[in-house]
Amino acid sequence: MTPLPKLALSLTAFALAAPALAEEVNIYSYRQPELIKPLTDAFTAETGIAVNVAYLEKGMVERLQAEGKRSPADLIFTVDISRLNAAVQAGLTQPVTSETLTANVPDIYHDPEGHWWGLTTRARIVYASKTRVPEGEVTTYEDLADPKWKGRICTRSGTNAYNVALTSAAIYHHGEEVAKAWLEGLKQNLARKPQGNDRAQVKAIWAGECDIAIGNTYYMGQMLADPEQKEWADSVNVLFPVFEGAGTHVNISGVAMTKAAPNKDNALKMMEFLTSPQAQEIYAHANYEYPIAPGTEADALVTSWGSFEADPVNLMDLARLRDEALKLTETVDFDG
């Protein structure tokens, strides 16, 4: 018997898994199922609308393009502004207008045309050894290119979406030539070739391979919750550097309505729910991120790491610089 193509199998997943409720909304998600289940459960409990989630590791844009108007997906969940913008640029989303969304999501965290909406933020920060890095040694991202850090910094690949966004911010604030010099200086200060994920950098600090590393805030919460990794997390402090004259770089998790959306009304209801104070705090607690709706608070563990002023740049301005940032990263052979 000839096996069905993988795409055909994926298109039946929602029908096979959907609960027996009259109304539904279908989601393609780059976010792990365990992170969004508390949200989908709460939404269903409040509205009676079933939520069907297909978790994707990669290829969301390509999948939506292949499905076209037949796509069962109503919403896409993802992290990083460039991934949201990629879906918009591919013509796979539709603009959403909602007084609730506008009230709950600050202007800098949603597309001016309404194609995507932020749900939570995470700061791109510095993890620093508690024993080898004195307090106040790192205050700006520009500091990372200072020769005093030669052989002391660890990071993941420069082409990773999170680091590309940080480089985009450097270009936005300082221009291409200064950003290039900053990348070159940062590369010269690396203790090893870029590798691994953000948690691997903290493990390297714990192991004495480097003294500081670049990473996202929420990984600290995840490591502290993991018995094997807690020792790594306990070896570092969380520092919130800023760009000179600006603030701490943040990125987002976000949601967009697909152009095909077969359950448009339910999809809008879910988008509005996700930006509500109730859902924002569920999301923030589940993944140690920062809620963005007015009047909401981060998890107590997250607030214990300290406060910061987020860079006020509109994230769409950074998304537009992604290709330039990636080209700079390759020009300096950051990962070489």
The model's confidence at residue 142, banded by pLDDT at 50, 70 and 90, is very high
Q: What is the pLDDT of residue 32?
A: 83
The model's confidence at residue 11, banded by pLDDT at 50, 70 and 90, is very low
CA distances from 28 to 11, 53, 164, 251 (A): 11, 6, 24, 20
For 58-71, the pLDDT digits (tens) are 999 999 999 999 99
Percent of the chain with pLDDT over 90: 87
Domain boundaries, the chain: 6-121+251-300, 122-249+309-331
Find all residues with CB under 8 Å of 299, minimum gap 6, and list them: 221, 284, 285, 288
Asked if 6-121+251-300 and 122-249+309-331 have one fold, the answer is yes
Contact 279, 292 (CB under 8 A): no
Q: Is the pTM of this model over 0.95?
A: no
Q: What is the pLDDT of residue 22?
A: 61
Find all residues with CB under 8 Å of 19, minimum gap 6, and list them: 44, 50
CA distances from 45 to 39, 48, 65, 296 (A): 10, 6, 32, 21
**CATH number attached to the domain at 122-249+309-331:** 3.40.190.10
The fourth-level CATH superfamily of domain 6-121+251-300 is: Periplasmic binding protein-like II (3.40.190.10)
Dist. CA 273–CA 102, nearest whole Å? 13
Helix, strand, coil shares, percent, the chain, to 5: 45, 20, 40
Q: Is pLDDT above 50 for 294?
A: yes
Q: Is pLDDT above 80 for 9?
A: no
pLDDT, mean of residues 292-296:
92
For 169-215, the pLDDT digits (tens) are 999 999 999 999 999 999 999 999 999 999 999 999 999 999 999 99
For 92-127, the pLDDT digits (tens) are 999 999 999 999 999 999 999 999 999 999 999 999
